[in-house]
Structures are given as structure tokens and as C-alpha cells.
Chain A
Amino acid sequence: MQERVYIEPKQINKDLMKGLTETPLWYWIAVGCLSLVFLTAAISFGYMMNKGLGLTGLNRPVFWGFFITNFVFWVGISHAGVMISAILRLTGAEWRRPVTRAAEVLTIFSLLTAALMPLIHTGRPWRIIYWFLPYDFSRGIWPDPRSPLVWDPAAIFTYLTGSILFVYVALIPDLAVARDRSTGWRFILYSILSLGFRGNPRQWKLQAVAGILLSALILPVFVSVHSIVSWDFAVNIGVEGWHSTIFAPYFVIGAVHSGVSAVVTMMALMRWLWGWDKYIRPEHFDGLGRLLIVVACTWFYFFIIEFFFGMFSQESPELALRHLQMFEWPYNMLFIIFLLTGFFIPVPLWLFKKVRRNIALMFWTSILVNIGMWIERFLIIVPSLQRKQPFTFVWGSYQPTIIEILIILGTFSMVGLGLLAFSKLFPLIPIFDIKEGQILHEDIQIGRVKVPGVIKD
């Protein structure tokens, strides 16, 4: 599993700071394309704000559609950071080292994107101040702390704050490296951000302790965020298919599934675009693949339970909903696509070591997973709302419009632009972590075989 490639520390600095020092052509092309998509989305949003929510497909009874699906999707992607960084750090998985920062940064940008979605969804986002600020604007309307919709921003911003702290603490040694190798405005920026880090034993100890503490403390936040988002649906007694106690762990594990898959996508792109073959190796994809098998199977278990318990009591409104989800157009097609892409194609492939170590296959299967998981959220939200009312004459349908599609695409471009901007200022692979991994590695001779080992204190 562990393919050791010893690299000189100076070479590590040079390789991993490539993003800060060089700007290849592909970078400008990527920024250009993503900016174009983002601009189109921004114009669509502006147009929607001007003309109203009627430009979207939202209508009675389906008042939550693409925007809320996308909100849940991006909150899900944000779970990658803590899963990989905190949990693998606490369990001492050595293969996590090149993966952690990219995962944590993906968390931050996906959370920011997720937080935008409800604002976009309101249609008139400035009115949100009446809803969340605890101030009576002479309207008699106060925030309702009993509502999960109020718990959502609290959880998301707590997680965002924790994640930013987490990234920052881990970034300090690398900022010091960047400071010592830069001039001009970069020198000033890195000097401020590195907080005078000089690498003495006391500073290293503090940095390590802070990292471990943050890893442990962010775990309950990580679990609570998507649980609270799930309770937006689950505590509702009026919508068929939502009132299920399994929603919290089901959403959390689904989030980990899509988040870790997104990290696989990112790692493959980083390896190909930045040429980091020596740092992002097949063994890392092997480790991520094994993790994904466990996560995907757990997710599938929760999915099956949720589905069966939906039918447990044999109540006709619930059966009508399941019939709509599985057998009526277009949800039947989406249901099949979601199952195939979310589980039945990637997981059997991941069982093979050759596939796990094939970066191209891991890249494409991870993308398939996220397509499936986006559709899964859509299938939870929209069909249930279509069948929300007890009387069939108020059953409706939902057709997304081009405005919604453009805004959704804009969110993907936003995350991409954020990651590209980050890579220009900060190294995407933690320099100190890679060096530490090399130092802590030691081979053990057992008979005629050399077994890779790790130094533990």
C-alpha cells in the first residue's frame, strides 16, 4: 500500500509551491471558462431578482426545487474535509497527508456556496434580515428558534468557522515557508498570516496540539451540520416520505459519500494539472477507494432501511409517493440513474485493487457518485412535495427552468474558481505534512523482506 518515494526537502518546497510561483496556460483557460459560467449565473440571478421567482419552475405545491437540492448537495460535499482531515488524523492513517488540505479547502468553498443557496432561493435575499436578525422591524416578526431552518445557518456558520480555523492552523508552517521565499506584497501577506512561525520546538508542539484539538472538536459539528439540514425535512409531519427518523445519519453518511468522492475528483485533477505524481500516488487513491467502499455500503444500508420503513405501515399516501419515485416518468429514470451511478457501478468496481489504483477510473467513478448523489437529493425533495397534499387535485409537478440550471452551474464554477484562487496563494498539498511523513517513515527488516513502518511515540 505505501509506496515510498524519498524526495529532498528543497525539492518538496519547490514542487509544492509551484502553484504560487507559476501560472501555466491551463490555469488561465480554466479561470476564463469558469468565470464565464459564473458570470452567466450571476446575470441569471440578477434577472430572477428583478422579475421574480416566477422565472423558476417553483409553484404550488413544489416550493423547494433545484435550489434547495443544490443547497443540500453542497452541504454534503463539505463533509469531505472533516472526514479525511480530522478522522484520518485522529486514527493515524499515514496516507492522508497529501489529501488533507485539498479536502479542507473544498469544505470551505462548498459551505460558502451552500450558504448562498437559501439566499438565492428566497428570490429577494435582502428580506432575509427580517427573518434571522433578532430585531423587530415594526413587523412583529421574530426569528423562530424552534424551526430547523433557523438551526441551519447556526450549524453551517459554526462548521465554516471551525473549518477555516482548521485550515489556517495547518497552513501556518507552510505560510512560514512561503514567507521565507517571497518578496513584495506576498512577503507582507505571508508574514502577517504566518504569525511569526519560526519552527522552534514550542511552536511545533502548539501547532500539533491545536491540530489535534480542532480535529476532535470539529467532529461533533461535522455530524450536527447535515443532521440539522436533514431535520428540515424529517421533523415535518405533513410531507410524505420526509417524516423518517433515519434522515439524520442517512444524510450524514450520504454527505461523506459524495464529499470523499469529490476529493477523489480533486486529487486526480491536482495530479494531472500540477504534475504532482510523486506526491499524489496510486496508494492514496487505493486508500480513498477502500474508505469509499465502507462509506458507500453504509449509505446503501441506510437507504434501504429508509425505503423499507417508508412502506412498513402500508399507508396509501406513502405507497403513492414510492410509486411516483420508482415507476413514473421522469422519476423512474432518475431513480435508476441514481442507483446505478451512486452505488451499483462504482462500488463493485472499487472492490478491485486494479481499479482503485487506476486514477482515471477513480476520477470517473467519483464523478458518477456525485451525479447520483445530486439526483438522490432531488428525488427526496421534489416527488414528496408533489404528493404533499391529501387531495389529488392539488398534486402538482415541477419543471426546472434555464434560470435555475444556469444558477446551479454557476455554483460549481464558484467552487472551482475558489479552489483555483486558493492554489495561487497557498500550497494545496501541505508541505510540512509531507516532510513529516518522510521523517517518520522507517523500514523494518523481517527475514528477507523489508516492511514499511511508521515511527510512533
Chain B
Amino acid sequence: MWFVDGWKMGWPPGAPHTWDMLGLLGLALTGIALLYVSSLPDFAVMRDHSTGFRHKLYSRLASNFHGSKKQWFFIQNRVGVLGAFYFMMLIFTHYLISVDFSMSLVPGWKDAIYPAFHALQGLQCAVAMTLLGMFLLRQFGGLKNYIGLDQFWGPAKLLLASSLLWFYFWWSGFIVYWYGRTPAEQDVLSFIMFESYKTPFFIAFVLCFVVPLTMLIWNRIRKSILGPTLIGLSVLIGTFFHRISVYVSAFSTKDVSAHSLGGVPPAILPNIGDVLMIIGTIAGAAAMYLIASKIFPTVSIWEVKENLLYRRESTFKRVKVLILGKPE
């Protein structure tokens, strides 16, 4: 897409940064739409149980939702469609950001698997962040009765699978680059992984793959609350360092139009301003989440009720079992 010089040739319009912004905007809007549609029934509940300005706010947000059959069908349908669309936007946006902000700036780096690897890391971090968020809500949000062991066990399995895939995608990229021993490709590997940015890369490797694999293969750790949470935290820190090894390296190359690096450039170290900005953005994101939790219920009320409807406890040949309904 960006091997055509935008405005001069007339198409595609603008620099790749235009596409990046459009992708991010699309992703944000789809995410907000998904959050809003899936929260409609809960807004209706809050409208019916509040007074004053909250009643006015939730009346507007609930958009006349009264739980009719047609409205429920609408919710189920739209959540499905928006979810699928969000996933496609996610993959597309990861593709744009990873290729534009990192790969295109490192001469000699033509790595077809990198966008998929970047998207997988995004999904891995999403699971990790969900685990961390659930832990904090459980401990400090008074939601122990709603966020139980099952809610950690399932994502723990996903985290294990995504960590294995992390290694698989990384190895697929590495072996093809390393095997042929061409100077241009060896320089890229040395730059991003083994020389200039080897510290953040190895931290990422250990925290995103070694720690999750060695810990989550054990049933006792997978089937616990603190275990997956700590490993989720490890994955988040590891991914952060991996992003440093890729994006900081990309933005530190001198001649982005060259065909190869022509050597291994040195690493750029952060200063106090960089560190404060990182801490600030993480704090800002956490603050936005806390403010949002004042408007949106953090646990979906209607989904919890629906789950209870589909569960029955019964006895099967002297054993107590759970029957899970699976409607079409």
C-alpha cells in the first residue's frame, strides 16, 4: 500500500499514517459500539433502579430497551456482528501499525509473519489484561461472588495456548531469517534481537514465553486465581519490552530508504522524560477505566443472569454434576 507515493500519484490517499489513524479510529469506534450494544440491557436495569441525574443518563443510554423478544434478538445479533467486525478491525489495525511504524523503517526487514505475530501478541495481552483486571475487581471491587475460579481457569488455558503460539510465530520468523545467513538479514536480527536491543528482547522472550509455559503447564497454577494473574502481569511487562525492542529500534535507524542496515546501529536508551511519559500513559489508561466503571457495570448483569438460566445441578449415577444448556 505504501510503495506508491500518496498524493503525488493520487492513490492511495495520503501517507500510511492516514491509514493508521483511520484504522485506530475504526477500531475505537467499533469497540465503543460493541461495549454500548452489549451494555444496553444493563443500562435498562440501572435506569429502572436509579433516580435523579443517573435515571436521566441511563434512560438516554438505555435507548428505550424494555426486554422484548425483538430487542433481545437485536442485541444477540448485533453483538455477534460487531464482535466479528471488531476482530477483523483488530487484525487490520495491527497490520497497519506493525508494518508502518516498525518494519518499514528498518532497512532489509521484510518479515511477512510480523503483522500476524503482532496481532497475536495483542490477543495475548488482552487475555493477560483481562486476568489482571478481574483480579483487581475481585479483590477491590467486591465481586468475589461473581468472579470465581472458572473465570481465571479458562483464560489461563488461553494464555498458555497464546504463549505457545508466541514462540511458534517468533521461531517461524527467526528460522527463515537466520538460516540463509545473508548479511542484510543477519544485521536485522542482530539489531532487534541479539545485539543492540538484546536486553529488552530477552526480557520479552522470558516473560512472554518461558514464564507462561513453565508455570501454566501445571494444573495447580492454571486452576488458581493468583497464578494466572501473575503470569498475565509477566506477559504484559514482557510485551512492553518487546515493543521497545521493535519500535525504538525502528525509529532509531538513520537511513530508512536504504536497502539494508549496513551494520548494526547502537541502541537508544530512554531518558527520564520517556519513563515519565510511559508511566503517565499507563496511569491515564487506568484512570479512564476507573471513570468508565462508574458508568458501565464491570460485570455484565444480563450475561450473568443468562448463565444462571442455562445451568442446572443434578445427580448422575450418584455423582453431583453440572448440566450446561447449549442453545442454538
List 24 A-B pairs, Cβ < 8 Å.
A220-B164, A227-B168, A235-B179, A237-B180, A237-B182, A246-B113, A248-B113, A248-B172, A249-B172, A306-B112, A308-B1, A312-B3, A314-B3, A442-B312, A442-B323, A444-B310, A451-B310, A453-B310, A453-B312, A453-B323, A453-B326, A454-B324, A455-B314, A457-B319
Chain B interface, DSSP helix/strand/loop, else mixed:
mixed
Cβ contact within 8 Å between B327 and A451: yes
Interface residues on A, range: 35 or more
From the candidates A243, A442, A453, name the one contacting B180 in the complex (CB within 8 A).
A243
Contact indicator B164/A455 (Cβ below 8 Å): no
- Residue in A1, A231, A310, A453 with the greatest tally of chain B CB atoms within 10 Å: A453
Measured as residues with beta carbon below 8 angstroms from the partner, the interface class of chain B is 35 or more
Contact B325 A245 (CB under 8 A): no
Given known contacts A94-B326, A246-B112, is B176 in contact with A235 (CB within 8 Å)?
yes
State which of B115, B176, B309, B323 has its C-beta within 8 Å of the C-beta of A456: B323
Interface membership of chain B positions 112-156, coded 1 if the CB is closer than 8 angstroms to chain A and 0 otherwise: 111110000000000000000000000000000000000000000
Instruction: Give chain B interface residues in 213-260, CB to chain A under 8 Å.
Output: 259
Question: In the complex, what distance in Å separates the CA atom of A312 from the CA atom of B112?
Answer: 9
Contact B176 A231 (CB under 8 A): yes
Q: How far is the CA of A236 from the CA of B177 in the complex (A)?
A: 10
Knowing A231-B176, A237-B180, A314-B3, say if A455 contacts B112 (CB, 8 Å).
Answer: no
Among candidates A309, A451, A454, residue contacting B112 with C-beta atoms closer than 8 Å: A309
Q: Does B111 contact A (CB under 8 A)?
A: yes
Contacts of A227 in B (CB 8 A): 168, 172
| B268 on interface, CB distance cutoff 8 Å | no
Q: Which chain B residues numbered 295 to 328 have a C-beta less than 8 Å away from chain A?
A: 309-310, 312, 314, 316, 319, 321-328
Given contacts A1-B326, A451-B310, 20 further A-B contacts (CB under 8 A): A2-B326, A94-B326, A227-B168, A243-B180, A244-B176, A245-B113, A247-B176, A249-B113, A305-B113, A305-B116, A310-B112, A312-B110, A444-B310, A444-B323, A446-B309, A451-B325, A452-B326, A454-B323, A454-B326, A456-B321
Cβ-Cβ contact count across A and B, 8 Å cutoff: 104
Contact A245 B312 (CB under 8 A): no
CB closest residue in chain B, given A233: B176
- Which residues of B lie under 8 Å from residue A311 when comparing CB positions? 3
| Closest A residue to B115 using CB positions | A305
Q: Does A156 belong to the interface (CB within 8 Å)?
A: no
Q: In the complex, which residues of chain B have a beta carbon less than 8 angstroms from the beta carbon of A245?
A: 111-114, 172-173, 176-177
Which residues of chain B have C-beta atoms less than 8 A from A302's C-beta?
A: 116
Give the residues in chain A near B116, CB-CB below 8 Å: 246, 249, 301-302, 305
Show the binding face of A for B, using Cβ within 8 Å: 1-2, 94, 220, 223, 227, 231, 234-237, 243-249, 301-302, 305-306, 308-314, 442, 444, 446, 451-457
Quick check: is B95 within 8 A (CB to CB) of the other chain? Answer: yes
Q: Which chain B residues border A454 with CB–CB below 8 Å?
A: 323-324, 326
Interfacial chain B residues near A455, Cβ < 8 Å: 314, 316, 321-323
Q: Is B276 an interface residue (CB 8 A)?
A: no
Q: Which residues of chain A are near B319, meaning CB under 8 Å?
A: 457
A residues in contact with B259, CB < 8 Å = 313
A178 to B16, CA, bound (A): 65
Determine if B175 is an interface residue (Cβ-Cβ < 8 Å): yes
A248-B172, A249-B169, A306-B112 as given contacts; A446 in contact with B325, CB under 8 Å: yes
Most A-side CB within 10 Å, residue of B1, B176, B323? B176
Question: In the complex, are the beta carbons of A231 and B175 less than 8 A apart?
Answer: yes
